[in-house]
């Protein structure tokens, strides 16, 4: 009669194999020079994964506390979202020159920025140049003819200001209401029509 392997032994073996695989995967994510995270730090476009395109609008009574976003713009000016509080809606766009979808959405962002200015709407745009040398970011802004300002965020820490509402990767766009609270967000590249609609809805919710 063939001896049977105890069930607990099989279970322990399975757990051991699972643990080893998990450790190997973790090691690959943290040290693999070809990982997406490492490529992003280098500024390469290889292997980039874009957002899922999800759009979220947050009702006024469900918005969290105001966000204080502040830093230095690519042209060397100090800026804080508190300077707009009570006066303007702020559109924050997370981007990087190494991010292909970010490049693709620039014309849409520029169109909305130009339109809201022409219409005299109380709206301010502010980009965040994510994990990139400021000189490279400034050169990119010039070549792409981006007319709205951007904060430099080479270390990638500015998004921490959004707490659990922080975007996970560029491109991401958040719309702050006049009180500085996140009122809408787009995870991934956003079209001009969608962004304009999000802005108008936030403005209407405060009227």
What is residue 207's predicted lDDT score, i.e. its pLDDT? Answer: 77
CATH of domain 54-205: 3.40.30.10
The domain ranges of the chain are: 7-42, 54-205
pLDDT, one tens digit per residue, over 72-125 is 999 999 999 999 999 999 999 999 999 999 999 999 999 999 999 999 999 999
The phi, psi pair for 155, rounded to 5°, reads -85, -15
Q: Is 80 exceeded by the pLDDT of residue 1?
A: no
What is residue 101's predicted lDDT score, i.e. its pLDDT? Answer: 96
Angle at CA of residue 111, ends 109 and 113, nearest 5°: 70
For the chain, the straight-line distance linking the first and the last C-alpha, in angstroms and rounded, comes to 83
What is residue 30's predicted lDDT score, i.e. its pLDDT? Answer: 33
Tell me the CA distances in angstroms from 200 to 112, 165, 179, 204, one per residue in order: 11, 21, 16, 6
The phi, psi pair for 112, rounded to 5°, reads -65, -40
Please state the separation of Cα 178 from the chain's center in Å: 20
Find the Cα–Cα–Cα–Cα dihedral 108, 110, 112, 113, rounded to 10°: 160
Write down the pTM of the prediction: 0.76
The phi, psi pair for 175, rounded to 5°, reads -110, 120
pLDDT, one tens digit per residue, over 54-74 is 899 999 999 999 999 999 999
């Amino acid at each position: 009669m063939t001896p049977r392997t105890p069930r607990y032994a099989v279970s322990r073996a399975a757990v051991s194999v699972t643990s080893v695989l998990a450790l190997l995967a973790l090691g690959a994510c943290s040290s693999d020079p070809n990982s997406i995270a490492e490529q992003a730090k280098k500024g390469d476009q290889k292997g980039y994964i874009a957002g899922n395109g999800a759009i979220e609008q947050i009702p006024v009574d469900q918005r969290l506390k105001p966000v204080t976003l502040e830093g230095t713009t690519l042209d060397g000016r100090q800026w804080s979202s508190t300077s707009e509080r009570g006066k303007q809606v702020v559109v924050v766009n997370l981007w990087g020159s190494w991010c292909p979808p970010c490049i693709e959405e620039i014309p849409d962002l520029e169109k909305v920025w130009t339109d809201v200015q022409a219409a005299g709407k109380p709206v301010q745009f502010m980009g965040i140049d994510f994990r990139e040398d400021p000189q490279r970011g400034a050169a990119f802004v010039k070549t792409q003819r981006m007319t709205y300002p951007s904060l430099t965020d080479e270390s990638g820490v500015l998004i921490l200001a959004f707490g659990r509402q922080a975007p996970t990767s560029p491109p991401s766009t958040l719309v702050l209401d006049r009180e500085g609270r996140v009122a809408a967000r787009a995870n991934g590249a956003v079209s001009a029509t969608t962004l304009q609609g999000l802005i108008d809805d936030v403005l209407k919710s405060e009227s």
